[in-house]
Amino acid sequence: MKTILPFALVTAMTAFTASPTAAADTRCYEMRIYHAAPGKLDALNSRFRDHTCKLFEKHGMANIGYWLPMTNTENRLVYLLAYPNRDAREKSWKEFGADPDWQIAAKESEKDGKLVLKAESVFLMATDFSPAIKPSAAREARVFELRTYTASPGNLDNLLARFRDHTLKLFKKHGMTSFGYWTPTEKKDGAGEKLIYLLAHKSQEAAAESFRDFRADADWIAVKKASEDKAGGSLTVQNGVKSEFLVPMDYSPTK
């Protein structure tokens, strides 16, 4: 005999078992890389520490993180901002550039010469499997690893699916902290071809150990083989995985 549950009980069970769906992160992200003039990297960092970060926030830009490459032969500063959308980004930068406080700070800091020789910018959008991207600090010092994957032709979706369904869980299993995952939005930066992400590790040595264990994991070996058999080959181009270690600045909201 079929049992019919009271409506109130069905409603209560549904409310208990349902899990809220996280809102999609539709923000516009921008990774900026500044190449400081010789001998000017400290002055550039001082300007960010004392002026720029505050003025970014004043004009609606979210400071996510600021890092220096561990091997920094080109005097680079790498940082990440977030905006509600691309139009908001353009408005914020226009107002920032016209801000008298910024103009004074820039003029004073550059009285002995320009601080930045070259600025690069990559616009990004968060993947649907990225953890919530927000400034965060750990109790212990940690290093970050910026990894860029270039997918083989037609395989970006397959690569993203492998990360979504398997890779992130295996990273966590082997002690790696996923900070954020993005894809570029402009063709010149690899839209439709690249995945860019940030991991956090206790140290560079810990990262090497984690990846060694990850690559030897039977689950990863099986997943990698299955995904490549399905795609008819590697999901990335030859030499298509790049890695760079970064250390957070003292003024970075993410450490």
Cα 215–Cα 217–Cα 219 angle in degrees, nearest 5: 115
CB 184 within 8 A of CB 122: yes
pLDDT at 23: 80
What are φ and ψ of residue 38, in 5° steps?
-50, 130
Hey, which residues does 34 pair with through a beta bridge?
77, 119
Kindly calculate the radius of gyration of the chain based on its CA atoms and give it in whole angstroms: 22
pLDDT at 88: 98
Hey, which residues does 156 pair with through a beta bridge?
none
Tokens of 108: 């004073």
Would you say the pTM of this structure is higher than 0.75?
yes
Which of the four pLDDT bands, split at 50, 70 and 90, describes residue 208?
very high
**How far apart, in Å, are the Cα atoms of 52 and each of 2, 56, 88?**
68, 6, 18
Distance of alpha carbon 201 from alpha carbon 175, whole angstroms: 8
Task: Calculate mean pLDDT across residues 85-108.
Answer: 98
Tokens of 232: 């008819």
pLDDT at 1: 43
pLDDT at 22: 60
